[in-house]
Amino acid sequence: MRHKARLKLLLDAVMTILMLLTFAYQLTGNMAHEVLGMVVFALFVLHNLLNKRWYSTLQKGKYAKRRKAGVVVNLLFLLAMAVLVVSSVLISRDVFGFLHLEGGAVSRQLHILTSYWGLVFLSMHLGLHWSMVIRAFQSQPGAEPNSRARQWASRMLALFISAYGVFAFIELEIGQKLILYYSFGYWDFGRDALLFFIDLLAVMGLIVCLTYYSMKTKELAAKASQGAERSLRE
């Protein structure tokens, strides 16, 4: 794997871990939460700088289904992060407390709303690029060949993660948070901290799997349709 590709994977992994930590507000406290949020945003900006070529190709080439989905997800993720950072500044009590801004309830609701949608778009972004992640690990020195048994094992693991992810999605009331029905999230002290993060990772895993396999299914169906059309012409 090339040095730049390794750097991108490491950057994305660190950004994902830190983003998950920002959801544990009651555990970390306000100051740490705000600092973590600013670091996540800085890593997000760095991620975009490392992938700036993507923006220059937006008006070039054909738009297949995967590319269309990628553009929509990326732009929505960018929008969510922009609103998230603006609302962060407005409601800040420590990092930007010297500005004496009064964001109010609306800014807090927007902050929570965009944080959870940001998690969704990040997971979808990972799902759209999961094939690249798989290839990156398979290209490592000493990596075992991708046998049929390993493929089925990975599918069973994805099924298990998705099933648990559905449970975690309901348990953490993610759906309510995504529609502002339940806008002021809080840390449930009755839950084990490790279990909380496992649940969040499972929710991400669910969205990654849904995105990855739905796109893969559509692409296989499109290939089958094209093959059938060629057969009819012959």
Please give the structure tokens belonging to residue 131.
Answer: 């094939």
Confidence of residue 73 (pLDDT cuts 50, 70, 90): very high
Q: How confident is the model at residue 166 (pLDDT cuts 50, 70, 90)?
A: very high
What pLDDT, in 10s, does the model give residues 15-72? 999 999 999 888 888 999 999 999 999 999 999 998 888 888 888 888 888 888 999 9
What would the mean pLDDT of 94-105 be, rounded to a whole number? 86
* pLDDT reading at 145 higher than 60: yes
Number of residues that this document lists for the chain? 234
For residue 146, the model assigns a pLDDT of: 67
Residue 199 has pLDDT above 90, yes or no: yes
pLDDT band at 193 (very low <50, low <70, confident <90, very high): confident
If we measure between CA atoms, which residue out of 136, 83, 152 comes closest to residue 111? 83
DSSP assignment letter at 61:
S
* Contact residues for 80 (Cβ-Cβ < 8 A; gap 6+): 114, 117, 118, 121
**How confident is residue 5, by pLDDT bands cut at 50, 70 and 90?**
confident
* More confident: 108 or 186: 108
Predicted model pTM:
0.86
Mean pLDDT of the 80-98 span: 93
What percent of the chain is predicted at pLDDT more than 90?
A: 46
Q: Find the mean pLDDT for residues 154-177.
A: 92
Distance CA 67, CA 84 (A): 25
Domain ranges of the chain: 3-56+65-233
Residue 148 has pLDDT above 90, yes or no: no
Tally of CA atoms within 13 A in the half-sphere of 149 that contains its CB: 2
Task: In whole angstroms, give the CA distance from residue 165 to residue 163.
Answer: 5
- pLDDT class of 217 with cuts at 50, 70, 90: confident
